[in-house]
Structure 1
């Protein structure tokens, strides 16, 4: 089916737009006409969350209760003792937050028998040894200078089910709210589940037949058997199982009944999607469309513009206020400002309105930019506790749409909100951008005046240590221009004092902070 000219005007609740080339796949989720999620995967830079490796323990650290495991990546992976214990809380890396909540709500989130298998107090040095081969799965992408986070609990996702071969457990997605339907699904799983294995029922399984769930389970069991067979044949470190690429993973995990259509701009990838859906979700195949317009698909749907805006530091609010989003090594800081918004009644109403609008925008930006980890939000100070409650509730409500797990603390009297958002992959900014080589990520440069004074002090030290008839100063042209125009008297004084000659050599290839002093 081809996309028609009515696409722009259609009021679809949710759409998936996929831009694919040999080099890169980009996927956007649109809800009610607004881009809410952006996913990107490049050739040679595929995500590794969900991949299964045969690794070798290279270092056990009793003081950290963790180990480093060589799985064949540039940096060793990190295995925490809790991930050896198979704690069910750490399983949501392979599924939406809904599935992880389903695990947590049953039996306090811990399947039967886990505590009996390995007591929680068992030291890591009694569980694994250096040189030992282990089968592990990536639970968190390498982030910055850190290696990947891994777990020894294997979890294989399908369209309807998530298969956990190492733990005996049944979980139902919380987003399936009808108790009768939840019980029906639980009864089906109890009947078809192999002994000593775990299964989580995903949201898309609602109202599905036992035959369809059984087919999904059979496929996942076959995948697990092939993983075990390959593990026996390959040395460590080796990749045993690789999750689907973004094209098919997006179809599997994002294409729910709430999605009206999936639009793909490549015939090759369109055919791949159709073939995948023929096998796993044939009832939704009619909702896949091939885009054949001349205009790039992300431009046609207005996504490219939103993508560029999502990389900016400042986000303007409709009222005229704005928020600033700043990344640091430890956390993400978000600052709320009234900006051009002056209000109509009084200061407290102006502040409340700005903070309420900012709360909704912040929740949206966290999801759009995939910001995770520790987040500090500095709302404009509110004197009335009722206003702080309103803003906190608005933020909580806005975050309900986010599939990633978030934890929020109440707004402090200073207007600060401390929160965390689960992070399994890099943020959009860190994926698309790199550290500025000019300022090395500081975001600030020494001023031209500061560099001028540094040069003058460096000249004085050079001549005090050793007399030279001539010195050459090589620096950025703008810095030398300032040095010549505003500090010429100082230069002449140095030349007279040390009976020397100073030459200025402008080099446009040098950054503002760089300079070199040499003997002529």
Structure 2
């Protein structure tokens, strides 16, 4: 089955909202805040605040309110070369940004002590591998890497590693030989899965792009102050495209010219043949509303999530772990065989759970309480469905088989705070008190404003943005209320439904889509 992938990007004042949709089903949702610091992949010029021998770790000041954590195992075997290079740059000694003629230091021991490598107030270059979550600061690594589309560049290393997912021996040899001939000295390379069968020109262009990014970082480091970010990871939408863009991608839809130009330039650099799939949304309805994403968001982020066959999930979050309870709902009475019912609901649940983990970016430990099944082969079947559905997940994860209590345990790498969308709406009329005046009064208000705009201000074109219930009220009947307006004012009033609005909210728009200032 050919899967279609679509990316929708909606620009808001707080940053981009990004939705990845597969076969019309939302599978990833991100909010990329404009002023988002300490993102995974960012490289900072920090200083060692404290070395803790008991943990074999150090706390690094990179400007976050909580010091960042760096464990000995995340130091990189070539940490001494990185420290020497950083000190040379700060001291303005002549060194080549491309590490030409740079003499690498000896590698550190795998099981050494951090106090032998780092000391208090030492300047250090480190990369964020885990964003600040809850009360914890960022987690760092000194195994610095610059990710491209086909390759990952690793300064101060000379090794060439090829993705394990590339299984053809011949292709592995071709890529190894190719990278050996083009990579500069003192740089290692990790070849990504998408590089399989790619031309030398594409790989070389990608390598050059990564080298330029590293050079810019070195240039920034020359004048950097402690706590400065010297290399920033690309924004969330761009990194999704870099990591996932393949032949299955059908369309990328954005709603601002700025986003359009930015992504067009990115596509031109990483996949020119894909430029034609980029579209600029210009409809009156908001992009997420038009493509049905807003509706999916509202129904997918609640405490309970319904399954197609009538069952439902209950999702609870705690600081330590996430618990998902699978319930059969009204399905139990419809099938005589209890085991068959449990199997079917559990399989549907496994598909939805794999999607929910990605959608909410749930990480750490996830415990799933499936409906009890007696037969071992049924437990294995549900486990296999879960594994199959999670294959497309970009986070590292481990799934344990279903236990005799019907529990499945998943650990999923958590690198950034979990996404949550508040699905409870405060009534805009009563402010959550529970008592409102007759809600039908909203239609009287709309009628009054409409009459004022058309008869007193003599506006040529008016559109009204309303909640879907109010939209339906004006559209119903053979001669709808919208049609009656046409007979009354001799002008067609365009109605736009927007489920992000409260029941009593509405907006009047002019011919350019700008909002009218209404006077009560």
TM range (shorter): 0.7 to 0.9
Contact 1:18-1:26 within 8 A present in 2 as well: yes
Alignment deviations for residues 428-454 of structure 1 (CA, whole Å, 9 cap, x no partner)? 12xx5699xxxxxxxxxxxxxxxxxxx
Q: Deviations over 1:1-37 (max 9, x none)?
A: xxxxxxxxxx971111111234320111111221111
State how 1:27-42 maps to structure 2 within 5 Å: 27-42=18-33
1:231-250 paired onto structure 2 within 5 Å: 231-250=221-240
Aligned residue for 1:359?
A: 350
Q: Which residue of 1 aligns with 2:499?
A: none
Q: Secondary structure at the match of 2:40?
A: coil
Cα separation, partners in 2 of 1:51 and 1:378, compared to 1, 3 Å: same
**Aligned-residue offset at 1:377:** 0.8
Say whether residues 1:75 and 2:69 are aligned partners: no
Alignment partner for residue 63 of structure 1, among 54, 64, 81?
A: 54
List gaps (5 residues or longer) in structure 1: 1-10, 89-113, 436-520
Match in the other structure for 1:373: 364
Match of 1:326 in 2: 316
Q: Would the alpha carbon gap of residues 152 and 376 (structure 1) be closer, same or farther in structure 2, given more than 3 Å must change?
A: same
- Residue 199 of structure 1: how far off its partner (Å): 1.2
* Aligned equivalent of 1:424: 415
| Compared CA separation, residues 433 and 141, structure 1 to 2 (3 A) | farther
Shift of residue 124, structure 1, vs aligned partner: 1.1
**What residue in structure 1 maps to residue 151 of structure 2?**
161
What are the superposed Cα offsets for residues 92-146 of structure 1, whole Å, 9 maximum, x if unpaired? xxxxxxxxxxxxxxxxxxxxxx997111221111111111111000001000110
Residues paired across the two proteins, number: 399
2:222 matched to 1:209?
no
1:349 paired to 2:337: no
| Equivalences for residues 104-503 of structure 1 within 5 A | 117-342=107-332, 343-429=334-420, 432=421
Counterpart contact for 1:75–1:147, Cα < 8 Å: yes
Q: Tell me if structure 2 keeps the 8 A contact 1:12–1:33.
A: no
- Contact 1:311 / 1:428 at 8 angstroms: preserved in 2? no
Distance 1:127 1:185, change over 3 A: same
Distance across 2 between alignment mates of 1:176 and 1:262: 27
CA–CA distance in structure 1, aligned partners of residues 351 and 57 of structure 2: 39
TM-score by length of 1: 0.72
- 1:25 aligned onto 2:16: yes
In structure 1, the residue matched to 2:510 is none
Cα shift at 1:181: 3.0
Question: What is the Cα-based RMSD across aligned positions, in Å?
Answer: 2.5
- Higher mean Cα deviation, 220-229 or 76-85? 220-229
Q: Aligned partners of 2:116, 2:3: CA distance in 1, in Å?
A: 56
